Amino acid sequence: MIFVISKSSFAFDSTLTSKLQFTIDSIRTSQNFKGVSASVIIPGHGLWQGVSGVSHSGVNITPGMYLGIGSNTKTFMSALALKLAEMNVIKLEDSLYKWIPRFVFVDSTITIRQLLNHTSGIFSISEKPGYADSILANPNRHWTPEEILNTFLSTPYFPKGQSFRYSNTNYIILGMIIKSAAGEQVSAKLNELILDPLGLDDTFLAVEEIVQDTIAHPWANGIDINATPRTSLLSAAWTAGAMYSNSENTSRWYQNLFGGQFLATSSMSQMLNFTPQSGFVYGLGVTRYVINGRVLFGHSGDIRGYTSCMLFDTTLNMSITVLVNQLGVNPVAIAVALLNTVLRNPLPQIGVDLTLSAIIEGFYDNSYEKMRMSDTATVFIRNSFFPYTIVDSSTAILDSSTFSGLFRLQKVTSGNYYITLKHRNSIETWSKLPVNLTAGSADQYEFVSNQSTAYGNNLALADNSPLRYSIYSGDVNGDAIVDAFDLSEIDNDAFIFAQGYFLTDITGDNLVDASDGSIADNNAANFVSVIRP
């Protein structure tokens, strides 16, 4: 079930509205670029949309205009791949040869995961000398992905999995796999699984879909290039960078995605698995930014005539989108300026700051009385009555020493709710009873000191002295039970000596081995599963 964050009905703070508008006006004026469209969504406070500048001579840019989002397309495609994996249409460990023909310079044993996180080593077609000239030489040409690969591929940067290098080719090949696995156009699957369910009616994959509404004119080198056909450019970029949207749609997309409302928790954990090869800054189609000590998820993008940046602040659960209709502008800097404007003008607190404590069974080390690592988990706040609808959610990090995380819930009003906790390879755990939460307050709940804090006493004994309980580990595939299917995935990764942030790493030591299988095997033998009201 997708819990959709729709267009906000909250009235945005008027003072902050003026200051955000001043921010983009002053930046555009000082840098003298054509136009910008921006949006900020703060849960509980609503949506701000602002524009500044022009689309083209005599026509101001407007909030509803479409702009190219370039490589922000990659986040959509990564989420689409993860959704298909949830449906068992594909697996992230599938090799390329399962879905597409062989190509020169492409190791067919590369996995889908290695495409998504740019550890494939495949040469980026856009770095081939003469690429831009070839694409622009005949602007009406429609390139197929096969033609792009056969024309512009070159020697790989490195053997698969050995390093990190951003490559547009990865996401073109991903598009080919999605099309092959789904048996239809990528845009059809994108609409079916993402855009339509989330109500993102102003977002589309160009070339495969016809533009019906107004596009903000693209500018390059001081020239309005809107009259130049973009068929060649967009067909070449395709699933690596050919999407269009407006700032409202993309901000709402980030609210749904990073607010934990679109992908399963296990899928979200994989998306946010920032690879060591990238210096822990790139996951699956998403970048991790640390700005003034704050962690943000996002991506930037550019395509001829447009630049863009989308950010999600993990502290405020706030999304920021900046779309510019001109090359040579830094949209990340504009997005950060908007973030700083919000931080300098704090809004009244709405919702609940919930401090929740839980121990992850497999991570706990009795010798040191702490977990081997801190890790992300997601809290879902559910109605206290059947069917226990999700009313809010938040993702935070459970600290390895305190076992606590601060979960900022932005939409909760005062009342009684079930609290459910889900970790990437653990059993979903429910509070024993509905818990009273008070809007505008700081509340606490814990699953550590007493087994009865969980519904059905569904906690494992973690330590006798001091007495501590933990949420059960081993639900690798997220199907609410620990069984042979989870063991199979653990065994497969142990066989290849998998190291790093894997779902199958039950013990949290960044190594998949027999110790992980032992915990899952024990819980499977005891038929450990979710217990719900």
Encode pLDDT of 372-401 as tens digits. 999 999 999 998 866 688 989 999 999 999
pLDDT for 41? 94
Q: Residue 222 domain-assigned?
A: yes
Q: Residue 441 domain-assigned?
A: yes
Total number of domains constituting the chain: 2
Q: Residue 458 domain-assigned?
A: yes
Q: Provide CB contacts within 8 A for 284, sequence distance 6+.
A: 78, 81, 82, 113, 116, 117, 270, 271, 273
Q: Residue 219 domain-assigned?
A: yes
User: Are residues 480 and 411 part of one domain?
Assistant: yes
User: Are residues 504 and 360 part of one domain?
Assistant: yes
Pick from 259, 281, 310: which residue ends a domain? 310
User: Are residues 274 and 174 part of one domain?
Assistant: yes
Average pLDDT over residues 354-358: 98
Q: Is 430 exposed, middle or buried (0-12, 13-18, 19+ CB in 10 A)?
A: buried
pLDDT for 6? 52
**Cβ atoms 398, 421 nearer than 8 A:** no
| Axis-axis angle for helices 484-495, 514-525 (nearest 10) | 170
User: Are residues 419 and 282 part of one domain?
Assistant: no
* Start-end of H helices in 315-443: 331-344
User: Are residues 209 and 99 part of one domain?
Assistant: yes
User: Are residues 438 and 306 part of one domain?
Assistant: no
pLDDT at residue 371 above 50?
yes
* Start-end of H helices in 375-451: none
User: Are residues 457 and 385 part of one domain?
Assistant: yes
User: Are residues 303 and 404 part of one domain?
Assistant: no
The token pair that represents 470 in the structure block: 């933990």
User: Are residues 409 and 270 part of one domain?
Assistant: no
Q: Residue 396 domain-assigned?
A: yes
Which structural domain, as residue segments, surrounds residue 225?
68-310
Q: Residue 487's CB: how many other CB atoms inside 10 A?
A: 19
Instruction: Report d(CA 128, CA 150) in Å as an integer.
Output: 12
Q: Residue 245 domain-assigned?
A: yes
User: Are residues 86 and 234 part of one domain?
Assistant: yes
> In this structure, what CATH number is given to the domain that contains residue 233?
3.40.710.10
> In this structure, what CATH number is given to the domain that contains residue 426?
2.60.40.4130
For residue range 282-334, what is the model confidence (pLDDT) as tens digits? 999 999 999 988 889 999 999 999 999 999 998 788 999 999 999 999 999 99
Instruction: Report d(CA 320, CA 302) in Å as an integer.
Output: 17
Pick from 310, 332, 366: which residue ends a domain? 310
H or E, element range at 420? strand 415-423
pLDDT for 1? 41
pLDDT for 314? 84
pLDDT at residue 525 above 50?
yes
pLDDT for 160? 97
User: Are residues 215 and 156 part of one domain?
Assistant: yes
User: Are residues 305 and 374 part of one domain?
Assistant: no
For residue range 395-452, what is the model confidence (pLDDT) as tens digits? 999 999 999 999 999 888 777 899 999 999 999 999 999 999 988 889 999 999 999 9
Q: Name the least confident of 271-280, 337-346, 364-373.
A: 271-280
For residue range 149-163, what is the model confidence (pLDDT) as tens digits? 999 999 999 999 999
Q: 349 pLDDT band (50/70/90 cuts)? A: low
Q: Residue 476's CB: how many other CB atoms inside 10 A?
A: 26
R_g (Cα) of the chain, nearest Å: 24
Q: Which residue has the tokens 């955000």?
A: 20
Q: Residue 2 domain-assigned?
A: no
- Among 366, 520, 524, 530, smallest CA distance to 458 is for 530
Pick from 278, 310, 342: which residue ends a domain? 310
pLDDT for 212? 67
Q: Residue 430 domain-assigned?
A: yes
